[in-house]
Amino acid sequence: MAGFDHEFTIGALFDADCDAFMLGHIHRAQQWAQEGRVVAYPGSIGRFHYGEIGDKGYLRWQIAPGRAEASLVPTPARQTVCIDFDGPPDMAQLTEMAADAADKFVRIRWTVNEEHRQLVDREAITALFGASAEVKLEARVLPAVRSRAEGISRAATLPEKLGRWCELTGVEANPLMDSLAMLETLDAQSIVDRVLADLVPDPVAAASDAPLPEPVLPPVLILLCHKRSR
């Protein structure tokens, strides 16, 4: 017994030695027979949830001493279509299925990685099933699992972590190390003054007719901006 519901096994019902057991509540029509006696559920007369299969209807009983029969009489029920994809939805397959989905209730499910979630055009899918009675789109997005570069977590100091990152990514370490040293030893105004001084063009080069190269923002200023934004 669970709460106010009484639960009996099929064997316990047949042990009651009745000819017919007319049960209800569940949505799916089912029945069991033993020596002419029948235990049966009619199920629901309508299809209320996606995934419900089989005909819907009511049971017509014929009962006599020692014998019972129950036959399902189908009733009109809405038609549902369930489409599942292990990955982004296949638009070609959906186009083919949409042609036979008029006035039906359609549920489309898919599972994608986080980086591929933008590949699914929900508006295009909804437009394909414009003649359907209902369209439900359900996405399951798998989060990306990101791990730190090997060895960085074991480095004791920030310069060691930065050096390890440069080693793993193939980035030249010296400019970044110099910039990190400036961030650790100088105040913000001193860093800006030094960076701007490095950007002042050479007077001799400025007097020539050759075009000046585009100034390149030093790594220290990039690091400073990033530090301030945090």
CATH number at residue 57: 3.60.21.10
Structural domain contains residue 151: no
- Burial of residue 97 (number of CB atoms within 10 Å: 0-12, 13-18, 19+): middle
Kindly state the DSSP code that residue 117 receives in the 8-state scheme. G
Question: Taking a C-beta distance cutoff of 8 angstroms, is the pair 135, 125 a contact?
Answer: yes
Task: Give yes or no: residues 175 and 195 share one domain.
Answer: yes
Structural domain contains residue 120: yes
More confident residue, 26 or 72: 72
Task: Give yes or no: residues 169 and 109 share one domain.
Answer: no
List all residues 6 or more positions away from 24 whose beta carbon is below 8 Å from its beta carbon. Answer: 41, 42
State the pLDDT confidence band at 86, using cuts at 50, 70 and 90.
very high
pLDDT (0 to 100) of residue 166? 87
Mean local confidence (pLDDT), 177-206? 81
Task: Give yes or no: residues 70 and 107 share one domain.
Answer: no
Print the domain residue range for 214: 158-229
State the pLDDT confidence band at 5, using cuts at 50, 70 and 90.
confident
Last residue of a domain, one of 55, 74, 93: 74
pLDDT in tens, 51-62: 888 889 999 999
State the pLDDT confidence band at 211, using cuts at 50, 70 and 90.
low
Task: Give yes or no: residues 183 and 205 share one domain.
Answer: yes
Distance of CA 98 to the CA centre of its chain: 23
Nearest C-alpha neighbor of 39 from the set 75, 6, 12: 12
The answer to whether residue 1 scores a pLDDT higher than 50 is: no
Structural domain contains residue 219: yes
Task: Give yes or no: residues 52 and 87 share one domain.
Answer: no
Task: Give yes or no: residues 64 and 98 share one domain.
Answer: no
Structural domain contains residue 206: yes
Task: Give yes or no: residues 51 and 16 share one domain.
Answer: yes
Task: Give yes or no: residues 123 and 180 share one domain.
Answer: no
- Return the structure tokens found at 216: 């390149």
State the pLDDT confidence band at 205, using cuts at 50, 70 and 90.
low
pTM for the full predicted model: 0.53
Q: Which of 9-23, 45-59, 125-139, 207-221 has the lowest mean pLDDT?
A: 207-221
pLDDT (0 to 100) of residue 148? 61
Task: Give yes or no: residues 87 and 38 share one domain.
Answer: no
pLDDT in tens, 14-46: 999 899 999 987 778 899 999 999 999 998 888
Report the alpha-carbon distance of residue 2 to residue 39 in Å, rounded: 21
Structural domain contains residue 43: yes
Q: How many domains does the chain have?
A: 3
Structural domain contains residue 124: yes
The answer to whether residue 213 scores a pLDDT higher than 70 is: no
